[in-house]
Amino acid sequence: KITAIPANHVVPAVGYHLDSGQSSLVFSGDTTANDAFWKVVNKIKNLRYLIIETAFSDGERNLAMLSKHLCPGLLVEELAKFKRDAEVFITHLKPGEMELTMREVEGSVRGLRPKMLLNNQEFEF
């Protein structure tokens, strides 16, 4: 089952909840601070994977906010709302800033250990 879930972006956008019946994956590729998103996500009892964007480094926080994307600092604020035990993967990293942004994510987020989403990565759930 695939269900669209709220996203907050400069143009209309949604995230997706994919539910196999046994476990679930949530993906949001274009979003910023969004309480409605977390309200839905935190109700998913069988959530196994969360894939969320972090498009900008912290040095571009203002641009991230204007374009309604996340940077590591904003991601930390959003993940504080996350109440599920799931693996977290980061997507939508800008070319040339991937390593910097992931270092900032890894240095900021405690406990969840987000990983960079890799090309051709597969998820079974």
At 38-52, the pLDDT tens digits run: 999 999 999 999 999
Do residues 80 and 37 lie in contact, with contact meaning Cβ atoms separated by under 8 Å? no
Q: What is the pLDDT of residues 69-125, one digit of tens each?
A: 999 999 999 999 999 999 999 999 999 999 999 999 998 887 789 999 999 999 999
pLDDT at 94: 92
Q: Where do the domains of the chain lie?
A: 2-116
92 closest CA partner among 49, 41, 56, 60: 56
Q: What is the pTM of this model?
A: 0.95
Name the CATH superfamily for 2-116: Ribonuclease Z/Hydroxyacylglutathione hydrolase-like (3.60.15.10)
Average pLDDT across the chain, whole number: 96
Do residues 31 and 52 lie in contact, with contact meaning Cβ atoms separated by under 8 Å? yes
